[in-house]
A and B are shown apart, each in its own frame.
Chain A
Amino acid sequence: EPEVTQTPSHQVTQMGQEVILRCVPISNHLYFYWYRQILGQKVEFLVSFYNNEISEKSEIFDDQFSVERPDGSNFTLKIRSTKLEDSAMYFCATGTGGYEQYFGPGTRLTVT
């Protein structure tokens, strides 16, 4: 069964550094999403992306964050200057345009 993959599984970075989290969507999916889950909290929507542009973003998704699909396969989330409070599990999800979204295993980001 096709699945969403994410790399790396765990990223440790120092405050102020840039990180790029990568996602490979399911091959016929055209809708892409990022969510995050801070330890002990809910899974929160960050951004949705379709046709090479952002469809919707949450108030969490400020100017420090950006997304792109650089090569037609990977879907990336960049955090320009990480803060301690960015430490979380980041989940990529993809879909065909229906209501269901299919999640990757997540990247654990630890900012020290």
Chain B
Amino acid sequence: DQQVKQNSPSLSVQEGRISILNCDYTNSMFDYFLWYKKYPAEGPTFLISISSIKDKNEDGRFTVFLNKSAKHLSLHIVPSQPGDSAVYFCAGNAGGTSYGKLTFGQGTILTVHP
């Protein structure tokens, strides 16, 4: 099941710089996308989301961009901080009869160096 793909297993960034995490999807039925952050030994923490009718959503240091024609979304973190070091998952939700089901990507390990 490769409906959501995060092709970069890891990303290393200097503190203060921008982190860009990418996600591609194949399921055209997804109408909502979410980013989660996960620290070791904890559950995924909801970070930010975007509806498929929008192309950008911003919340503080976090911005998600959606390119529906390319079936691509990205999460920008600026400025990056060492506390942002975690695994980041993108997830799609198809709504309708699959309203509750989130389909996750494999995750990208972000390391922010001081």
Contact = CB atoms under 8 A, between A and B. Distances in A.
Interface stretch (B43-51, B56-64, B74-82): B43-51
A31 B100 contact: yes
Nearest to B33: A99
Given A31-B100, A55-B100, A95-B100, A100 B34 contact: yes
Nearest to A55: B100
B102 A102 contact: no
Nearest first, the 6 closest Cβ-Cβ pairs linking A and B are: A48-B100, A103-B43, A43-B104, A99-B32, A103-B44, A45-B101
27 contacts: A6-B43, A33-B100, A33-B102, A42-B1, A42-B104, A42-B106, A43-B89, A44-B104, A45-B103, A48-B99, A48-B100, A55-B99, A55-B100, A56-B98, A56-B100, A91-B44, A99-B32, A99-B49, A99-B95, A100-B34, A100-B46, A100-B49, A103-B36, A103-B45, A103-B46, A105-B41, A105-B42
